A = this chain, B = another copy of it.
Amino acid sequence: MDKSQPENLKNAGLKSTLPRLKILGLFESGQERHMSAEDVYKLLLSTGDDVGLATVYRVLTQFEHAGLLVRHNFEGGKSVFELNEGKHHDHIVCLQCGHVEEFYDTTIESRQKKVAAELGFEVHDHSLHIYADCTKTKCPHKPRNV
């Protein structure tokens, strides 16, 4: 977890470039675990790191293929990425604001496998998605950037 970023990129067979280091750095900073391409792009702009949006998309996809990031398509239309830290977990997503929380529940895990088997499916490592609302009245999280 303390491996320097250039090393991470090398191991992934990717050349160590500024855009890649910046983007990986954002995810490793832990500020925001789940980000869309647009989120990353705007964050970089806000810190003066001018990276093209197309490059953000390309790098995110490369990182996904390299196993550094995991891509999710939650309800809402845009792809969301998170650091691949090896430990399996599921996600619960707010339908109002898009906020994402992670969880791991052994009962759900085993039950999920059972249900899948009965229906002729085999669960591998993909996250299960629960969709809900942060609260019944008003959503405490930031409004979904649609």
From 103 to 123 in chain A, residues with beta carbon under 8 angstroms from any chain B beta carbon are: 103, 105, 107-108, 111-112, 114-116, 118-123
A77 to B74 alpha-carbon distance, docked (Å): 9
**A-side interface size class:** 35 or more
A130 to B133 alpha-carbon distance, docked (Å): 19
Chain B residue nearest to A104 (CB atoms) is: B115
Q: Which residues of chain B are within 8 angstroms of A132 by Cβ–Cβ distance?
A: 116, 121-124, 126
A134 to B109 alpha-carbon distance, docked (Å): 18
Which of B111, B114, B120, B126 touches A131 (beta carbons < 8 Å)? B126
Chain B residue nearest to A91 (CB atoms) is: B129
A95 to B120 alpha-carbon distance, docked (Å): 13
A101 to B132 alpha-carbon distance, docked (Å): 21
With an 8 A cutoff between CB atoms, is A25 at the interface? no
**8 tightest A-B CB contacts, nearest first:** A121-B132, A126-B131, A129-B129, A123-B132, A73-B75, A101-B119, A107-B111, A116-B132
